[in-house]
Amino acid sequence: MSRVAVVGAGTMGNGVAHVFAQHAWDTVLIDVAPGLLERVLATIRANFERQVKKGTVTAEQRDAALARIRTSSSLDAVKDAELVVEAASEQPETKFKIFRELDRLAPAAVLASNTSSISITTIAAQTRRPGQVIGMHFMNPVPVMELVEVVRGMETADETVVKVVEVVKALGKTPVVVNDSPGFVSNRVLMPMINEAVSCVMEGVAAPDAVDQIMRLGMNHPVGPLALADLIGLDVCLHILDILHHDFGDPKYRPAALLRKMVAAGRLGRKTGRGFYVYRD
Ligand SMILES: NC(=O)c1ccc[n+]([C@@H]2O[C@H](COP(=O)([O-])OP(=O)(O)OC[C@H]3O[C@@H](n4cnc5c(N)ncnc54)[C@H](O)[C@@H]3O)[C@@H](O)[C@H]2O)c1
């Protein structure tokens, strides 16, 4: 395979396109938001520039990669792709509609979703070929992070898993295959830890910096759970915990009241300048 279409050019989509183009894939990046694609190309260029300065990519590799990226505002542009990676907004109806259209527009392609929390089995059921549908859960920032959680839906064919594992390796990343389940493994393990950290603050057990220091210095985590929650976005954390809570029906996933309150107050973390910490830049 050497031709990929990336649907959705937000935070994740631009990183996914960057990594594919860097590894010699013809890449088309698709988004419906007016004016976004020019800005995204500028972001990708700036990110390559940073890699050139660091010496991880040469100027020739940067130019070749940038020349491999096309953009489009129409989903029709997926038609030649052998692999489609959907990284559109995390709303079930948006993704279901996209997959119904991809089924028709790219009949031979493997269809992957970068969803963090929507069932791959349910997404696959929107198509007439669930065997070719799979989760490719890239981590943010995509050019930097090594892991891709490969999510096998109930009907995903072995052949699809094998192909996608090979693709991930060819991108210089490490695939880890898991079965479809709410939150997969990454968020099912991470979000309850963040939630407990929030509960510690809420109950007055320790202040945010003490909680984070304990996890950094005592457990060797590179970032404390509350600083990480601020980076991810407290609204995103709340959303994923709500899904875990709803889908498992288990009270152990119930979001801490303080998390809900902070989201209601607009303290979403880095993106709004205030979460568990204050960000002045
Ligand atoms: N942000 C993260 O840290 C992170 C990490 C892992 C996975 N994810 C997942 O990746 C996906 C994208 O997340 P994001 O943070 O990049 O979101 P984002 O909001 O930054 O970007 C989503 C993009 O999708 C576009 N879009 C919406 N409907 C579309 C359509 N019909 N066709 C084409 N484009 C469409 C929007 O215009 C937007 O630009 C989500 O499923 C999310 O759960 C996010």
> Which residues does 227 contact at the CB level (< 8 Å), separation at least 6?
212, 276, 277
The active-site residue out of 116, 117, 119, 195 is: 116
* Protein residue closest via CA to atom 28 of ligand 1: 88
Give the pLDDT mean for 81-96. 96
The active-site residue out of 117, 187, 195, 245 is: 187
Give the pLDDT mean for 31-51. 95
Rg (CA), the chain: 19
**Helix, strand, coil share of the chain (percent; to 5):** 50, 15, 35
CA–CA separation, 173 and 166 (whole Å): 10
Give the pLDDT mean for 29-33. 97
Place of tokens 């183009």: 21
14, 89, 116: residue to mutate for ligand 1 pocket, most atoms within 8 A of CB: 89
Q: What pLDDT is attached to residue 213?
A: 98
On whether the CB atoms of residues 66 and 52 are closer than 8 A, the answer is: no
Question: What's the 89 CA to ligand 1 centre distance in angstroms?
Answer: 4
Give the pLDDT mean for 127-139. 98
149 is a catalytic site residue: yes
Q: What is the dihedral of CA 170, 154, 89, 272, to 10 degrees?
A: -90
For the cut 80, the answer to whether the pLDDT of residue 6 exceeds it is yes
> Hey, is 63 helix, strand or coil?
helix
Alpha helices in 233-275 (DSSP H): 234-248, 257-264
Q: What pLDDT is attached to residue 243?
A: 95
199 is a catalytic site residue: no
Three-state SS sequence of 92-159: HHHHHHHHHHHHHHCCCCEEEECCCCCCHHHHHCCCCCHHHEEEEEECCCCCCCCEEEEEECCCCCHH
Question: What's the 31 CA to ligand 1 centre distance in angstroms?
Answer: 10
Residue-averaged pLDDT of the chain = 97
Model pLDDT for residues 90-124, shown as the tens digit of each residue: 999 999 999 999 999 999 999 999 999 999 999 99
Model pLDDT for residues 219-261, shown as the tens digit of each residue: 999 999 999 999 999 999 999 999 999 999 999 999 999 999 9
Confidence bin at 275 (pLDDT 50/70/90) = very high
**Ligand 1 pocket by C-beta < 6 Å: which residues?**
7-13, 30-33, 36, 87-90, 94, 98, 114-116, 137, 140
Question: What's the 280 CA to ligand 1 centre distance in angstroms?
Answer: 26
For the cut 90, the answer to whether the pLDDT of residue 281 exceeds it is no
Question: What's the 2 CA to ligand 1 centre distance in angstroms?
Answer: 23
Place of tokens 């600083």: 227
Give the pLDDT mean for 43-50. 96
For the cut 80, the answer to whether the pLDDT of residue 60 exceeds it is yes
137 is a catalytic site residue: yes
Kindly report the pTM of this predicted structure: 0.95
For the cut 80, the answer to whether the pLDDT of residue 41 exceeds it is yes
18 is a catalytic site residue: no
Q: What pLDDT is attached to residue 122?
A: 98
* Protein residue closest via CA to atom 2 of ligand 1: 140
